[in-house]
């Protein structure tokens, strides 16, 4: 395993990491012992990065139990800011919420420190200096070793660095954006900004949340396409493009999953790609593709199918900024719309 440095932290991580959402018994593998076996085999193979979140059902508990006796050999990451309850203060990036949330995550994970603590989605209601202040305190206390963001626009990444410099606070060390053969929008600004400022990137959704496994085909009905949770699996635009990638993978003599994962880590701005595994067979397929390296010819063909910096549809769990969710933020009051 050729490890990569996570930004400028000095922490070494494997090019492929485990995204732990599917270890939650409510949405993924219902057997925690089986998930533990998957985790142990991944660690034995050299994968040392596991990423979870406080809103992934019981994923933190499952991961924590699986790591008993092996915690020191794992770069353990989790996330905060999405709602964890009905109370309006059980979400966001306020000091009040983060101080409580980190203690809960430490307890569920069964550890005294988190290697990488990430803001799951931006919180426009909290001043970034407030958030960086509490995260800096957590680093100084030893409960958190490094901090990061997720789904954050490039402009906000830079603004956070300015705020950290002004106040002498800890800087965000990482960003976790969506990135795959189908979703390349972050190539325009997020990845270049991360490279420029030495920010490590852990990309999620490299398999298109299931679309790039080859198990979902255009014109074919299956269990995944019927599930309401996976709306993007019925996006005809995405399915059309997937068929082209299936043909390319066949020409290249490799499974589609290997093509997709190798693409995700080929970009110089990507540190590690998080695979949302659920079963041992999923892990075996990932491990079988560890040595796959895409040639320039294949990368050129990929660029022809999905041009650099473009997205084909969106992932179901992609972050949508408030200005795109609320029409009132995009429209002047009726009385101010006239040019006169």
Is 16 one of the catalytic residues? no
Residue 191 burial (10 A CB sphere; 0-12, 13-18, 19+): buried
Alpha-carbon dihedral of residues 100, 103, 107, 111, nearest 10 degrees? 160
SS3 70: coil
How far lies 156's CA from each of 132, 133, 153, 190, in Å? 13, 16, 5, 10
What would the two tokens of residue 158 be? 């830079």
Residue ranges of the alpha helices (H) in the chain?
Answer: 32-44, 59-66, 95-109, 128-141, 154-167, 190-196, 223-226, 236-252, 256-264, 280-288, 296-305, 322-325
What would the two tokens of residue 54 be? 């406080």
Backbone dihedral region for residue 168 (phi beyond 0: left; psi -120 to 50: alpha; all else: beta):
left
Q: Which helix (H) or strand (E) holds 176?
A: strand 174-176
Contacts of 72 (CB under 8 A, 6+ apart): none
Residues forming a β-bridge with 264: none
- Please, are residues 75 and 5 in contact by the beta-carbon 8 Å criterion? no
Per DSSP, 114 falls in state E
Distance of CA 23 to the CA centre of its chain: 15
Catalytic residue among 3, 16, 56, 117: 56
Known catalytic residues are 56
């Amino acid at each position: 395993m050729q490890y990569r440095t996570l930004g400028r932290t000095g922490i070494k991580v494997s090019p492929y990491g485990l995204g732990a959402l599917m270890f939650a018994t409510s949405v993924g593998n219902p057997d925690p012992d089986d998930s533990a076996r998957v985790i142990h085999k991944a660690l034995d193979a050299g994968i040392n990065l596991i990423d979870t979140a406080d809103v992934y059902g019981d994923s933190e508990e499952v991961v924590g139990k699986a790591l008993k006796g092996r915690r020191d050999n794992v770069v353990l990451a989790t996330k905060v800011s999405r709602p964890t309850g009905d109370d309006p203060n059980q979400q966001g990036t306020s000091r009040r919420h983060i101080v409580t949330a980190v203690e809960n995550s430490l307890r569920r994970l069964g550890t005294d420190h988190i290697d990488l603590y990430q803001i799951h989605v931006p919180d426009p209601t909290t001043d970034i200096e407030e958030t960086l202040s509490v995260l800096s305190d957590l680093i100084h206390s030893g409960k958190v070793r490094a901090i990061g963001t997720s789904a954050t626009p490039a402009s906000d990444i830079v603004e956070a660095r300015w705020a950290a410099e002004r106040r002498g606070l800890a800087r965000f060390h990482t960003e976790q954006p969506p990135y795959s053969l189908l979703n390349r929008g972050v190539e325009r600004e997020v990845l270049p900004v991360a490279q420029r400022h030495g920010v490590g990137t852990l990309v999620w959704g490299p398999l298109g949340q299931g679309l790039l496994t080859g198990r979902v085909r255009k014109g074919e009905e299956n269990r995944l396409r019927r599930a309401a949770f996976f709306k993007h699996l019925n996006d005809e635009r995405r399915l059309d493009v997937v068929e082209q990638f299936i043909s390319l993978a066949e020409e290249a003599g490799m499974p589609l999953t290997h093509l997709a994962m190798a693409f995700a880590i080929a970009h110089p701005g990507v540190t590690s790609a998080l695979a949302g595994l659920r079963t041992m067979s999923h892990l075996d397929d990932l491990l079988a593709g560890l040595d796959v390296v895409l040639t320039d010819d294949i990368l050129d063909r990929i660029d022809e199918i999905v041009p650099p910096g473009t997205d084909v549809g969106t992932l179901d769990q992609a972050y949508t900024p408030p200005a795109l969710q609320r029409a009132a933020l995009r429209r002047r009051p009726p009385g101010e719309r006239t040019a006169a």
